[in-house]
Amino acid sequence: MFALILGRLGAAWITLLVIAVVVFVGVELMPGDACTALLGRDAVRVEVLENCRDRMGLNRSPVERFFAWAGDLAQGDLGVSMKRERPIVDIVGPRLRNTLILAVAAALAGVPLAIGLGVMVALRRERPFDIIVSTTALVAMTMPEFVVASLLILIFAIWLGWSAGVVTAAYDAPALTLLFATPLPAVTLALVYVAHILRMVRSSVIDTAGADFILMARMKGVPERRIVRRHLLPNAILPTIPVIGLTLAWLLSGVVIVESAFNYPGIGRLAVNAVADRDLPLVQAITLIFGLIYVSMTLIADLLAMALNPRLRTRRL
């Protein structure tokens, strides 16, 4: 068990290293650099461009820069943003907090809802309620986040006026202020994965309902309500928990779009701006944080799966 966890941790580090190299090469391959992005047409003035590149350390070779960056990182230093000329920790820190507020709000509201709805529709399989909810879920799954975002703003902010359209709170606003600003972004973010989890729970419950032990319980005369609570649900939902973990990790990709659409001051919006600015150290830091979150969510999901399913715990058998 411990050897396995250690092995997975080792693999995680290698994954992160590969991510760092790929992102570095990717940003290097894009036309332009932080200075041409910053200067625009002024980049034509050669001496201004050269001064800028000197200041940002862009005159060194890419390999040299990568190892300098990796060396700093090994000492826990994420470096300094090229464009913002401030330590990256100070820039990323508050925004990471904001993204976590949004993600946790979306998860807390969405996961229980998804599981509950999934069970309800499974128990009313093929009836109008199931058909309506399952179809809605399918539609929600296929709609891109930016469409959902625009629709929600149109309905709840512009037509009904119940909510603010985009978030105007600053990145360093108190956590509570940001929490109050999250309803629409959180719903947008949650919609896609609620549909995913709902469909997964539904099919798991339906599968389990056909299992022999349920039939056995029924034959023994166990009341239907007790069958559902005691036998069906624990067996149907436990296996979906690790998958829910993976779905939440995958949800991170939605953060980039949702935060831009709602102007939410999180790490996703920062990522978009950092790429546009060619702010390489900042892009690197954000990607690594995303990678780290994804890798650790996957790891937790795997460990949960093992904890919940004894058959996975041993290599024998």
Partner 1 sequence: MTITQRLLAGVMICLIGSPVMAEKLLLRANDLSFGGAESLDPLSPNRFYEVNDLIYSRLVRQDDAGQPSPELATSWTSNADATEWTLTLQTGVTFHDGSAFDAADVAYSLGRIEDPALESPVSAVLGFIDRVEVVDPLTVKIVLEAPHAGLPILLLDYRVRMIPDGAGPTIQENPIGTGPFKVESFDAEGTTRLVVNETYWEGRPLLDAIQFTAIPDSEARNQAMLAGQLDLNTITRDQMALYADNPAFQVQSFPSGGWFGIVFRTDTPPFDNPAVRRALRIAVDRQAMMTLMVGETGGTVGCDTPVRVDDPFRAMRDCPQDIEGAKALLAEAGYPDGIDIELVTSDVEPGMVRFAEVYQAQVAPAGIRVSLKVAPADGYWDDVWMTAPASVTSWGERPADQILNEAWRTGSSWNESYYANSVYDQTLDQARATLDPAAAKSLYVEAQEILFQDGGTFIPYQEDGRQVLSARVRGIAPVGEDHVRWHLVDLAE
| Interface with partner 1 (CB under 8 A) | 30-32, 36-45, 48, 51, 83-85, 146, 150, 153, 157-158, 161, 164-166, 168, 170-173, 177, 180, 260-263, 265, 269, 272-273, 276-279
Residue with tokens 């973010």: 189
User: What residue type is 216 in one-letter code?
Assistant: M
Q: Cα(246)–Cα(253) distance, rounded to whole angstroms? A: 12
Min separation Cβ 177 and partner 1, Å: 7
Contact between 78 and 87 under an 8 Å Cβ cutoff? The reply is yes
Q: Using CA of residue 169, residue 173, residue 175, residue 176, what is the dihedral sign? A: negative
Min separation Cβ 36 and partner 1, Å: 4
Min separation Cβ 78 and partner 1, Å: 17
Q: Would you say 80 or 249 has its CB closer to partner 1?
A: 80
Q: Cα(174)–Cα(246) distance, rounded to whole angstroms? A: 30
Q: Would you say 84 or 125 has its CB closer to partner 1?
A: 84
Q: Which residues pair with 292 in a beta bridge?
A: none
Q: Would you say 245 or 265 has its CB closer to partner 1?
A: 265
Min separation Cβ 35 and partner 1, Å: 9
- Residue from 86, 90, 95 nearest 256 by CA: 95
Q: Would you say 38 or 194 has its CB closer to partner 1?
A: 38
For residue 186, count CB atoms less than 10 angstroms from its CB and return exposed for 0-12, middle for 13-18, buried for 19 or more: buried
Min separation Cβ 235 and partner 1, Å: 45
Q: Would you say 180 or 213 has its CB closer to partner 1?
A: 180
